[in-house]
Structure 1
Amino acid sequence: MLGISLIAALGVWSLLFSLNDRSVLSLTVFDVGQADAVFIETPDRFQVLIDGGGDARILQKLGSVMPFWDRTVDLVILTHPHADHVGGLVDVIKRYRVGAVIESNANYGTAEYAEWQKLKKENNIVSHSAVLGMRVGIGRYARVQILSPFGVMSAVSLKNPHDANVTALVSFGASKFLLMGDAEDEIERGILGRGINPRANMLKVGHHGSRTSSSEIFLAAVSPGISVVSAGRNNRYGHPHQEILDRLAAFSKQVFRTDRDGDVVISSDGRSVTTATAK
């Protein structure tokens, strides 16, 4: 399998992009209930899983987009260790060979996260601590840029893991996809306050469409043509909140919700972006 190139410092990143060699990058926001899981496959078949939902449903989802004989996921990014993001990764790591992991590595005392850390160690999986400025080549044609956390959070104990959320900007040619995990308003302000340009064609909306995320000033900076909310049907939190849906509609031509649309697939040839849904 192809390796990943990690560049921990900010700097010039050159993307070698051949019109004759490229095909399509696909990004699928899985319908995993009141949870998050995003799967990316590049034209050269490099596979990235960002979060794993809350339970074993992720295995069926991966089986729907990967060949039955493929038991390798090249890169896993854990945005933060809440159960609805890490729970399914425990099942993934038992079933698939994971090439590498990127996460905050902050301390969080739950059974799911402890099991995840244990399995990483048992399987000798390299775990990189995410920090602002990290750049990751995914295959030959795409990259991931880490926009948060803003400092090294490894071994830091947190009451709210959202404070160390791993926010990722995926680039493929001229197309950009911003994956917010459960980033809240404080991280949005931190991104803008550091002069980072978060503009993207597609936004995976932060924190399931909660009013604690997706501020108007941040959405204006991202200016996403497509927004996708991952939320469970009739969930007890009322996600996505109506005020956020109204706000998204003001900035995006297309707004999708996994609770209504099922899996949402975003495809790009590096120039244009198309969408499809399971329903």
Structure 2
Amino acid sequence: MLRADEFADSGQRYGGYAYKDALAVAHEQNVPIIFPRVGTVWRTDDGVWLTFLGPSLPLITGSRNDINNNSIVFMLQYKSFRMLFTGDAGAEAEQRILDEGVDLHADVLKVGHHGSAYSSTPDFIAAVHPRYAIISVGRHNLFGHPAPSTLETLQRVGARVYRTDEDAAVILESDGNAALISTTLPR
């Protein structure tokens, strides 16, 4: 089992088993539970920076999916390499992040909510302007993810798209300057 120094929680309560199980393990192992907010920065000993961009307070309520819209969102930076992790954040969360006015440009985007039609808005994708986009999505999923509109939005900014339903595992490596992406299925 992987040992964690801290457990990051968005503060959005959720009754799902995976969430409850993860919290239980954190409690059993005396792992501190923290609630990072916009502007929180973590720095590792080897020079990786995580800057949290969401969720902001107050948490989003009354949206199509509050649980997803209150996902933890962060920018990973290592030297000049940047990757944006969006969790399941939807359009409402993306707009809040855009309203903060932060530099969202990233080399790689982990596409929000499996490429759902309710995330990856054109304005958000234009601000990120990723060279590569990774969509974590199950093959033949019931929701039809990723949405054609999301794929079109990514294509418009010139992002090369990797999908776990087509590429299986997507492996990313970086020396801090460039990204090297490979897959377990040949392209």
Q: State yes or no: 1:251 paired with 2:157.
A: yes
Which of 196, 202, 215 aligns to 2:121? It is 215
Which of 130, 133, 147 aligns to 1:241? It is 147
CA distance in 1, matches of 2:93, 2:55: 8
Amino acid of the structure 2 residue aligned with 1:205: V
Q: Is the CA contact (8 Å cut-off) linking 1:144 and 1:169 kept in structure 2? A: yes
CA distance in 1, matches of 2:177, 2:19: 38
Q: Is the CA contact (8 Å cut-off) linking 1:209 and 1:240 kept in structure 2? A: yes
Q: Is the CA contact (8 Å cut-off) linking 2:129 and 2:159 kept in structure 1? A: no
Offset at residue 176 of structure 1 (A):
0.2
CA distance in 2, matches of 1:253, 1:219: 10
- 2:18 paired residue number: 112
- Residue aligned with 2:137, SS: coil
TM-score, normalised relative to structure 2: 0.90
Amino acid of the structure 2 residue aligned with 1:163: N
Alignment of 1:127-142 (within 5 A): 127-142=33-48
Amino acid of the structure 1 residue aligned with 2:100: R
Offset at residue 272 of structure 1 (A):
1.8
The change in CA–CA distance for 1:142 and 1:209 in structure 2 (over 3 A counts) is same
Q: How many percent of aligned residue pairs carry the same amino acid?
A: 30
* Deviations 1:200-252 (CA, angstroms, capped at 9, x unpaired): 00000000000100111111110000001110000000000112111111113
Q: State yes or no: 1:273 paired with 2:172.
A: no
Q: State yes or no: 1:166 paired with 2:72.
A: yes
Question: Relative contact order (alpha carbons < 8 A, sep ≥ 6): 1 or 2 greater?
Answer: 1
- 1:186 paired residue number: 92
Q: State yes or no: 1:228 paired with 2:134.
A: yes
The number of equivalent residue pairs is 182
TM-score, normalised relative to structure 1: 0.62
Amino acid of the structure 1 residue aligned with 2:49: R
- 1:60 paired residue number: none
Q: Is the CA contact (8 Å cut-off) linking 1:131 and 1:146 kept in structure 2? A: yes
- 1:196 paired residue number: 102
- Residue aligned with 1:104, SS: coil
Q: Is the CA contact (8 Å cut-off) linking 1:177 and 1:202 kept in structure 2? A: yes
Which of 33, 37, 57 aligns to 1:151? It is 57
CA distance in 1, matches of 2:123, 2:46: 34
CA distance in 2, matches of 1:201, 1:97: 29
- Residue aligned with 2:102, SS: coil
CA distance in 2, matches of 1:102, 1:260: 30
- 1:27 paired residue number: none
- Residue aligned with 1:99, SS: coil
Offset at residue 192 of structure 1 (A):
0.9
- Residue aligned with 1:271, SS: coil
Return 204-213 or 269-278, whichever deviates more. Answer: 269-278
Q: Which contiguous aligned blocks of 4+ residues in structure 1 show a shift greater than 6 angstroms? A: none
- Residue aligned with 1:116, SS: helix
Structure 2: gaps of 5 or more residues: none
- 2:112 paired residue number: 206
Q: Is the CA contact (8 Å cut-off) linking 2:167 and 2:183 kept in structure 1? A: yes
Q: Is the CA contact (8 Å cut-off) linking 1:267 and 1:275 kept in structure 2? A: yes
